Homo-oligomer: A and B are copies of this chain.
Amino acid sequence: MSLPELADRQRDILRAVIREFITTAQPVASGSLVRRYALPVSPATVRSELAELEDLGLLTHPHTSAGRVPTDLGYRYFIESLMPDTALQPEEQLTVSHQFQQAQQDSAQWLRLAASTLARLTAEASIVTQPAGTKSVLKHIDAVPIHERRALIVAVLDGGAVRQQLLDLDQPATADELRSLGQRLTDTMHGADAATLAKAVDLEHGAARQILRALSRLLAETESARASDVYYDGIQNILAQPEFGASDPTRLRDMVALLEDRTRLADLLPPIIGEGEVHVAIGAENRVEPLLDCSLVFGRYGGTSGVVGYVGIVGPRRMDYARSIGAVSFVGRLMTDLVRAVEGN
């Protein structure tokens, strides 16, 4: 996995091949390289350089008389040492962060917005997971009367997530009773996690007991179901890619099936990403079968209290990595800001 050292001209040529292949999706010929990038050498010279890059494992040949195509290693080399600055244009950053500021209203909207923004910025399919903490902690409890014997329990978690649960009460309760119950539980249970709540259940009785039981279950689910709530967008974008076109519809279907299946999603997320880092998995670096022709670009966002979510995109190996990384990184940062704002830091 160590990357070979290249002469300057080879680097230029590799960069040109990748750039060309990304836009055309066609194997790149020596002649067209010279023409389009105004190289100061002849096609024959380029050919010998291409042959060397192929020996180094950075390029391949679909067949004898076809142009060159980057390998996984070729893309990797590009990302590690050929890629231009990935930051988005300032105007773009402004537009996007403006949209995020307007969407502060509803945390579910953040996720949706993040997914659609990424899809739009990168023209790939995007995936955004709900922030889920290793420890979910209660911040506020409220009991809203719906009916004499029925109440809606609203819980605000650390990190600004809001959960709700409809509860059939064993005994009728008035609005005032529910209100003071919510107050008391908020005061006593502030900062409690699922385990603490479970313990506290036995100390209470009546409606309070019911509420605590429901909440502890809710928190436990929130903690465990790490990737249960996933937003995705831009599937149309990967349908538009020529590599997933007519040739093999099964490939495409398997891929979409993988994305839609929220339970399998956790597997393909890169094991650990550092805060603010962006992780790129190219082609066969993905262990999952339907993604062997794809690349993933993922980032992590999260608060200080261990609340963590993922944002990322899926696309063909042939993608604009600079732009993708820039977009994922930027959106990840915005999401981190949003989560922190709700945390109160």
Contact = CB atoms under 8 A, between A and B. Distances in A.
A183 B183 CA distance: 11
Nearest to A190: B175
B179 A154 contact: no
Contact of A142 (B140, B160, B221, B236): B140
Contacts of A165: 104-106
Interface in A125-156: 139-140, 142, 144, 146-147, 150, 152, 154, 156
A210 to B, nearest CB: 13
Contact of A164 (B106, B240, B257, B343): B106
Contacts of A342: 146, 152, 166
Nearest to A230: B112
B235 A245 contact: no
A343 B146 contact: yes
A260 B112 CA distance: 12
Interface string A157-191: 00010111110000000000001000100000000
Nearest to A234: B260
A162 B260 CA distance: 26
Interface stretch (A7-15, A48-56, A246-254): A246-254
Contacts of A72: none
A66 interface: no
A84 interface: no
A105 B221 CA distance: 11
A154 B186 CA distance: 15
A108 interface: yes
A284 to B, nearest CB: 23
A281 to B, nearest CB: 22
A278 interface: no
A3 interface: no
A34 interface: no
A299 B112 CA distance: 25
A20 interface: no
A147 B340 CA distance: 11
B152 A154 contact: no
A337 B200 CA distance: 33
Interface string A221-261: 10000000100011110011000011101001100110010
B160 A152 contact: yes
Given A152-B160, A235-B256, A344 B246 contact: no
A160 B164 contact: yes
10 contacts: A105-B166, A105-B218, A106-B164, A107-B164, A112-B229, A139-B144, A150-B344, A154-B154, A166-B342, A239-B249
Closest 10 CB pairs between A and B?
A147-B344, A246-B246, A236-B257, A140-B144, A105-B165, A239-B253, A146-B344, A236-B256, A245-B249, A104-B166
